[in-house]
Every structure is written in structure tokens, then in C-alpha cells.
Amino acid sequence: MTTPVTSSVNKTRWLQLVFGVICMCMIANMQYGWTFFVNPIQERHGWDRAAIQVAFSIFIVTETWLVPVEGWFVDKYGPRIVVLFGGIMCGLAWILNAYADTLTMLYIGAAVGGIGAGAVYGTCVGNSLKWFPDRRGLAAGITAAGFGAGSALTVIPIQNMIKNQGYEAAFLYFGIGQGIVITVLALFLIAPKKEQIAAFAVNVASKVAQSARDFSPKEMLTTPLFWVMYAMFVMMAAGGLMATAQLGPIAKDFGIADIPVSLIGITLPALTFAAAIDRVLNGLTRPFFGWVSDHIGRENTMFLAFAIEGVGIYALSVFGSNPVLFVILTGLVFFAWGEIYSLFPAMCGDAFGTKFATTNAGLLYTAKGTAALIVPFTSILTTMTGSWHAVFVSAAALNIIAAIMALLILKPLRRAHAERAKHAKLNAIAAE
């Protein structure tokens, strides 16, 4: 039976989730809108494409590798101040991009944006893990969906502004608007008290094993389980980031970017259609697979999703020159990729506890930054080989390997980790 107090807390936690999702929507363009700026920047300044894409890698690295530090601030001081800082940095970053007339200034803007986006992303995901111990997969998925699909509604407006007013105007006005929304919502974010979520913690799905104790970040880093998860995260993130950063150039090189495609009663240029659908599916997959993992287990869900991703990437390399199949297959690729941002944080919370959830999930999230270092090399490899085929095949292989690792390595390793944590807690109780 639900008590009035529990009902009140339940409403509060869902409201906190909504605030987090909106904040995530506001930073989504910083990653998923980047592909629309690459070609205009190259045409305006004549810079090499690979050099421009270094800015994307800088953004991802600073967005991810500083999240553990930002997570420590969240665990110690709460989410409000960190997201407020992040909102200001995000707005400032795109203003810098608007006026960047050198690669150095573009790189500085990318670093500022990465710091801001990481502060927002890490805080919102970590806060959802704390508020929803009973539905971590779903909560992390819904929150991450804001980042995955948040830019879907702005795909056409950004493209139109770039076309009609120049990419500088798009950076400036969208940057200011997104920054303002984040800073306002930051004022309403709060972390749960332990007694508020105690009633929900007992309702954790039996299919998902939970840690018997909370692991500090230092303790977590000494476990083999963390590093296997980290390696798999890198393998999965690499292919998706390549597609995210290079979607515009890939469509251009395939010669189908501006070819009209008609699907579900809508007709749009292939690149525009693919970008819109990709963002929607990249958002929907996160709560969907998060919900699935709450019921059938994280590793089983990983195997299913990662295998689909591997097949989808390979199929894109073979059939991507067909504009209709390009739209469909990129949608499949993004659908089977986005769930890593719900499954890995949820598993991190399951395996290492709630107390340090934001910092621990942040440390795991740095794997995305590691994967981003590969992105500039995809342009170089494509130039060397004359096509995207080698890049696609490599990404597909990494996905298939990660799928197999989920069942054969990660699953037994996590089971053994849970048993050790349980025995350690029992021994500690006995010693008291």
C-alpha cells in the first residue's frame, strides 16, 4: 500500500526526472548538431576536415573525462550548483564558436562546451540513478533520451538558419537560448535524502542483481568488473560517435545528401531525414532498452542491442549509397547504439551502489571520451582507402565482439563481484 509520504516523494522524483530531461535536451545539439556545421566551417575557412573534427574530439573528451570531478561536486554539494555552472559554460561555448576565426579558438570553444555539457550530463544521469533505485534502467534511459533525441526538433531550424543566416548565427542564437534554459532549471534540482528513497529501494526488480554495499570510486577502480565494462563502453561508443560526427560528410561522400527521400508520408533530403529520424530513435532506444534491461537483465539486453548495432553498421557500409536505405539503416544504427547511455550507468549503479553513483557513473562515462579520440582517424582512414568501408567494418567488428563479451565475460564477472560484496558485508556485520 502506498503511503501519502511515498506518494509525495514519487511525484517529486518524477518531477526531478523531467527537469533533468529538459536540461539534457538543451545540450543535445552540442554533440548531435555538430555534423551540420562541419561542411559550412570548411567552406568558410578552408580548414582541413580532419582538423575541424579535432574540435569534436576535444568536446567529447572534456565532456566525459571531467565528469568524475563534476560528479564529486554533485555527491558533495548537490546537483543545483553544478548544472548552473554547466548552463553558463554551454551558452558561452557556442558564442565562442560563432566568432571563432582560427582553429585554436574553435578548439577553445569545444573545450568550454565539453566542460559545460559534461557538468549537465553527468549530474542529470547521476541524479536519476539516485532517485530511482528501483527503476535505474528506465530512469537513466529516459534521462539519456533527452540527450539522444533532444536535438530532433531543431534539426530543420538549425539547417535553415545555417543556410539563410550562416552557421555563426546558428551557433550564437541557439547557444544563448540553450544556456538560459539550463541555468533556470538548475535552480529547481535537488538530490534525494536516503530516507526518501528507502521504500523504493526494496522494490528493485529481481532480474537485476544489486550490490550489497556502496563502493567508493577508489574501490570501484580496483575491480576487474569496472575495467571490462569500460573496455566494452569504448568499443560500443567508437562506432556511434563516428556516425554522429561524420553523418554529414558520409552522406556527402555517398552523393545522396540532398536527394529527396519519401517515407511515412514525409519527403525530405536524405541527410535531413536521416538526422531527424536518427535523433528520435537514438532517444527512444534509451528508455526502451533501459526498461527491457530492468526485466531481462543488463547483459542479456546488451547482447541483443550490440549485435543489432554490428549488423546495422555493416549493412550501412554495403547499402548506404541508396538514399532510402541510408535513412533506414542510419536509424537502425542509432537505435541500437544509444542504449549504451542507459545500460552502462544502470549497471554501474547496480554493481557499485547508490551513495557514490554520480561519481562512479562519471568515471565509467569517460570511456566515451576515450572512444572520441578515434573519430579524427576515421577521416584519415577514409582518405587513405578512398571509401568509408574500412571504417564501417572496423566499427561493426567491435560491436559484435562487445556483444559476445556481454554474455561470456561480463555476466559471470558481475555475478562473482556481487557474491564478494555480499560476503564482505556479512563479515563486516559479524565483526561488529
SS3 letters across 160-174: HHHHHHCHHHHHHHH
Nine cell digits for residue 71: 560528479
Distance CA 158, CA 160 (A): 5
Amino acid at position 232, single letter: M
Identify the sign of the CA torsion 241, 243, 244, 246: positive
Distance CA 200, CA 346 (A): 16
Cβ proximity of 256 and 119 under 8 Å = no
* Cβ neighbours around 422 below 10 Å, total: 15
Distance CA 256, CA 270 (A): 6
Distance CA 120, CA 115 (A): 9
Q: pLDDT value at position 206?
A: 47
376-to-68, 87, 278, 380 alpha-carbon distances in Å: 25, 27, 21, 7
Cβ proximity of 81 and 87 under 8 Å = no
Domain 4-431 is of which CATH architecture?
A: Up-down Bundle (1.20)
Nine cell digits for residue 284: 527512444
Distance CA 161, CA 393 (A): 35
Tell which residue, 161, 66, 58, 163, has the closest CA to residue 119: 66
Distance CA 141, CA 339 (A): 7
**Average pLDDT, consecutive stretches of 10 residues, N- to C-terminus, the chain (432 residues):** 68 94 92 86 89 89 87 89 96 95 95 95 90 86 83 82 93 94 96 78 59 87 96 88 72 85 86 82 87 90 94 87 90 87 90 87 88 75 74 87 96 90 72 62
Q: Spell out the domain ranges in the chain.
A: 4-431
Q: pLDDT value at position 428?
A: 66
Collect all residues with Cβ–Cβ distance below 8 Å to 323 and sequence separation of at least 6. 256, 259, 260, 261, 270
Residue whose cell numbers read 571490462 = 228
Q: pLDDT value at position 196?
A: 76
Cβ proximity of 90 and 164 under 8 Å = no
Distance CA 124, CA 304 (A): 27
Tell which residue, 155, 388, 383, has the closest CA to residue 280: 155
Tell which residue, 276, 29, 295, 372, has the closest CA to residue 141: 295
Q: Write the DSSP string, 4-60.
A: HHHHHHHHHHHHHHHHHHHHHHHHHHHHHTTHHHHHHHHHHH---HHHHHHHHHHHH
Nine cell digits for residue 21: 530531461
Cβ proximity of 421 and 211 under 8 Å = yes
Cβ proximity of 119 and 68 under 8 Å = no
Collect all residues with Cβ–Cβ distance below 8 Å to 253 and sequence separation of at least 6. 382, 388
Tell which residue, 296, 403, 350, 418, has the closest CA to residue 139: 350
* Cβ neighbours around 255 below 10 Å, total: 11
Residue whose cell numbers read 577514409 = 382
To which H or E segment does residue 260 belong?
strand 260-263
Distance CA 289, CA 302 (A): 9
Instruction: Please state the φ and ψ torsions of residue 428, each to the nearest 5 degrees.
Output: -65, -40
Residue whose cell numbers read 563502453 = 233
